Amino acid sequence: MNTSYRKDIDGLRAIAVLSVVLFHAFPAIVRGGFIGVDVFFVISGFLISSIIIHQIADNRFRWSTFYIKRINRIFPALIVVLLSALIAGYFLLLSEEYKNLNKHILGSTFFLNNILLWKESGYFDVSSELKPLLHLWSLGIEEQFYLIWPVFLYIIWNKRFKPLSAIAWVICLSFLINILRINHHGVSTFYLPISRFWELALGGGLACLQMNGNKMDHPAAANVLSAVSMFALLLGIICFDNRLQYPGWAALLPTLCTGVLLCTPDAWINRRILSLSALTFVGLISYPLYLWHWELLSFARIILSGEVSGALTMGLVAASFILAWLTWRYIERPIRFSQKGKHHAALSAQVLTVSLLIVGGAGLFIYTHDGLDGRALVQSQQRLTNDINDFQDYRKQAASCEASAKDKKALTWCFQTRSGVPTSALWGDSHADHLFPGMLKNDAKTNWLLVGETGCAPLLNVQSYWVGSPDRCVKANETALRLILNNPAIDTVVLASLGPFYVSKTGYAVQHLGEHSPDHFVLQSGSDPKQARPEVFYNGLNKTVQALQKAGKRVVLFQDIPELPFMPDRCIHRPLAPGGDCTLAKNDVIARQQEYVELLGKLSRNQPGVRVFKPLKFLCDRKQCDLIRDKHLLYRDSHHLSIAGSQYLDEKFLAWMRSA
């Protein structure tokens, strides 16, 4: 079997890494660049499997040699990138950010970052752009695969199985799991190895085919297949976008196209395009380039609160190329290819393993010590960072609601300001939850009940869910209504939600752009699936109001607070960052909320007795809305109040209620 160097494979690596880099740098232009990772998976499976199969067939395979080479290939650049993140984070990140970064440094040390990201994903997850090591999920998939794959190949070759059939079973089973889970478990399907192994195994299957002497013997057919595959791959890079349920069926395009290109080394595309010197050079540095580019872009977005100019983005991409070349030239090459490096390969692997464990140990230490919150940067900003990070502390003061275990399981929130019989209720999604700390602080006379489910506005008979996830809202809202109606002492019910998000087709808060935009969220009437979002919202809220009023409850609609097109941490000065504007134009808020506010007004006019509390006059002056009052941040992210914000706004709300 021929395992000689192929320039066209490095060219294909270049296509893969450039698509990923450009997608991360300019996602609105290179919308499908994320499929470059799938190209990497197939190439990796092909190359590594070719080496393993060749050595097993010649009885030369040694476990120690395989993993020594794997360590010397993967660890050097990874250690440098993780160490740079650890050092940069010390000087640039706040305590909670630095703690989370070091959790991912620890996870990356053991190639488990994909598992961490799966566990973290959800409504309250930090925006993915603010995770400097997010991209290492794919490295986790690869290394988990290579813990199992050599053993699998060794067994099927030495136990006289039919290797190609065995590999085909792995591909089919993993792909089937991917297809079966993608609709309702999209996040886990994306991150977990079991639904990704088929991509690497596909490369392994192609290596097995070549081992058996199967190759493309018809030049004309090879040229056509290669050209069509390259065109289709580039089309996917340009036309795919993050609205796809991915990987799913869509991942067949990049994987099969890559497979064809790997099997046509003598085709014109492979010889004349993929073997161009510029592409092969990028292919050679593709691994460190992949590691560096996202870390630079993510740190820039953290420092500048997501507002990175096109010019700076291009500069960061250029810097990642320079760092990638330096890493390849002065770190990777000496370890892997110099005579001294080859002679001391085992020693290098040992030193690299210890070094990676030391970096991981540092990550563990920093994570368990709260992101080294004694640093000067942290101390100077502690009050404001506490406003962002300490919201969940209110639950230590709250009492659990008096409900069955089954009912509590259906709800994210079921709390009371104190034990005993509740006399008022707060019902809604996380925008009801963020009002609760203010009730704890400001209303000692009333026993408030908080009920609701994440992502569920208080809309009866309305399904609300992220694409790829099941609906929990219909059941949650039925449970919330029953708990309120079963408490006759409750005379007032306040309904609150992230209304403009549910009504609109576009995101405004920075956390609701991209994969968390309304485009990825379903709001659907249980009786008429064709209703438009505003109509669904109005009718669902109207049913809720009617059900409460029928039971003799007084209903108050808490109009939503302004959403922010930036994260509030830009109000906190960071090293390297210019002073950020910590205000929001009032006219922008009015324009964003116009349709939603009109719906609330219509409902209050049609349902006598329903009152609407309008927080805008307490958060904004005539021209702008300020995020800081009395030296505290009012927001903890781009659309949730902090504890300080909750206490300030609820004080105004309770005074408004008493004045009625």
User: Each residue of 585-617: pLDDT tens digit?
Assistant: 999 999 999 999 999 999 999 999 999 999 999
In a domain, 16, yes or no: yes
Strand 554-558 versus strand 521-525 pairing type = unpaired
Shared domain for 479 and 362, answered yes or no, is no
Q: How far apart are CA 484 and CA 451, in angstroms?
A: 9
Look over the chain and give the mean of its residue pLDDT values, rounded to a whole number. 92
Q: Is the pLDDT of residue 12 over 60?
A: yes
Shared domain for 531 and 646, answered yes or no, is yes
Shared domain for 347 and 233, answered yes or no, is yes
Q: How far apart are CA 320 and CA 299, in angstroms?
A: 13
Shared domain for 346 and 409, answered yes or no, is no
Selection from 6, 2, 9, 30 nearest residue 18 by Cα: 30
How many domains is the chain partitioned into structurally? Answer: 2
Length in residues, the chain: 660
Q: How far apart are CA 450 and CA 618, in angstroms?
A: 23
Helix ranges restricted to H, 304-394: 310-327, 333-336, 339-343, 345-368, 376-380, 382-389
∠ CA 293-295-298, nearest 5°, is 105
Tokens (6 digits) for 550: 């029928």
Q: Is the pLDDT of residue 122 over 60?
A: no
In a domain, 2, yes or no: no
In a domain, 261, yes or no: yes
Q: Is the pLDDT of residue 394 over 90?
A: no
- Residue 210's pLDDT is 86
The verdict on pTM exceeding 0.75 is no
Shared domain for 365 and 469, answered yes or no, is no
Q: How far apart are CA 174 and CA 193, in angstroms?
A: 9
∠ CA 554-559-560, nearest 5°, is 135
Question: pLDDT tens, 140-182?
Answer: 999 999 999 999 999 998 777 789 999 999 999 999 999 999 9
Question: pLDDT tens, 51-102?
Answer: 999 999 889 999 999 999 999 999 999 999 999 999 999 999 988 899 999 9
Beta bridge partners of 583: 626
Q: Is the pLDDT of residue 533 over 50?
A: yes
Shared domain for 303 and 421, answered yes or no, is no
CATH number at residue 613: 3.40.50.1110
Q: How far apart are CA 471 and CA 522, in angstroms?
A: 9
In a domain, 284, yes or no: yes
- Residue 582's pLDDT is 86
According to DSSP, residue 273 is labeled I
Shared domain for 357 and 415, answered yes or no, is no
- Residue 3's pLDDT is 58
Domain boundary pick from 379, 406, 421: 379
For residues 534 and 459, the answer to whether their CB atoms sit within 8 Å is no
In a domain, 386, yes or no: no
Mean local confidence (pLDDT), 110-114: 95
In a domain, 118, yes or no: yes
- Residue 119's pLDDT is 85
Question: pLDDT tens, 459-498?
Answer: 999 999 999 889 999 999 999 999 999 999 999 999 999 9
In a domain, 314, yes or no: yes
Shared domain for 197 and 260, answered yes or no, is yes
In a domain, 1, yes or no: no
Shared domain for 518 and 626, answered yes or no, is yes
Domain boundary pick from 317, 344, 379: 379
Shared domain for 216 and 180, answered yes or no, is yes
Shared domain for 479 and 563, answered yes or no, is yes
- Residue 303's pLDDT is 87
Q: Is the pLDDT of residue 125 over 50?
A: no
Out of 18-32, 503-517, 551-565, pick the least confident.
503-517
Q: How far apart are CA 419 and CA 439, in angstroms?
A: 14
Structural domain containing residue 457: 397-658
Selection from 326, 106, 554 nearest residue 98 by Cα: 106
User: Measured in Å, how far apart are the chain's first and last C-alpha atoms?
Assistant: 86
What is the SS3 assignment for 274? coil
Shared domain for 116 and 228, answered yes or no, is yes
- Residue 580's pLDDT is 66
